[in-house]
Each structure stands twice: as C-alpha cells, then as structure tokens.
Amino acid sequence: MTNTYMAKKDEIKPEWFVVDAEDVVLGRLASFVASRIRGKHKPEFTPNQLCGDTIVVINAEKVKLTGNKADTKAYHNHTGYQLKTRTFKQVISTYPSRVVEKAVKGMLPKNVLGRRMLGRLKVYGGADHPHTAQSPQKLEIS
C-alpha cells in the first residue's frame, strides 16, 4: 500500500515569474496564470495548500479578445445604489488591470484559499513593475 504525498507548508518554495500579456487572448492568459498560481504544474501539488507561484502580468492594457467581444462583453459593478455596466473597452481604458484580475479570479477556487491565491497575482497595465528585487523569471505562455 502506498501513501499519497501531501506537501507541508514549509516544504513549498514559491517562485516569481513575469508574463507579458501583449497580444495574448484574455481567456488563454487567465487559464494559464490561474493554473500557475494554483500550482498544478508542480509534482508536489496539494489541493489544500498554497503551493503555486507568484505571477506578475505586464502590458495588461494590450490584451486581446476574439470576435466582437470588445464591444459586447459587459462588466457589472453594483455600488449599493445602482448597477453600473461597462463594456470591455471602457474598463480597459480606465482600469486595465481589473480585466485580467477578474478573469483569473473566476478560474480560482471560491473559498479562503482561492482569495489567498489571488494575492499572488500582480497585474500592471504598462511594461514596468516594482518587483525587480524578487528577480522574477520570464515565462512564455504555451
């Protein structure tokens, strides 16, 4: 009888990676990043542990959508007073990081662990980011 390996908290060593979102389809980017944040690419993946990596997404304002979704995709925000609806173009022009954050958030678990995983996602609209001290490695989307 073999035992299933379960990673302990002190055995997990998260790494830092940079992903360039320029001319990448939003859904492909979000599923790739969510998988890396979850840690499913690692052999020591444990579903109840935070064993993924920290991902820095740059050039979020240059992400693409297929078809005519740029005009028809809607983002809803309920302020408590009234429901505000904006299109993809409106949101990407004012808050480019929210589009990627919302797409990745929808692909993570809806629990406390999923919210902690979302803390490992850093999204920036331009090509610059303040995480050079962590010496993140460049990661290509496959």
Per-residue model confidence as pLDDT tens digits over 47-72:
999 999 999 999 999 999 999 999 99
Question: Domain ranges in the chain?
Answer: 15-64+96-139
HEC string of 46-69 equals CCCCCCCCEEEEECHHHCECCCCH
Predicted TM-score (pTM) of this structure: 0.92
Q: What's the pLDDT at 132?
A: 95
129 is written with which tokens?
A: 């980011």
C-alpha 61/C-alpha 93 separation (Å) is: 7
Residue 1 has pLDDT above 90, yes or no: no
According to CATH, the topology of domain 15-64+96-139 is: Ribosomal Protein L13p; Chain: A; (3.90.1180)
Three-class SS of residue 100?
A: helix
Answer yes or no: are the C-beta atoms of 104 and 121 closer than 8 Å.
yes
Q: What's the pLDDT at 4?
A: 87
Three-class SS of residue 132?
A: helix
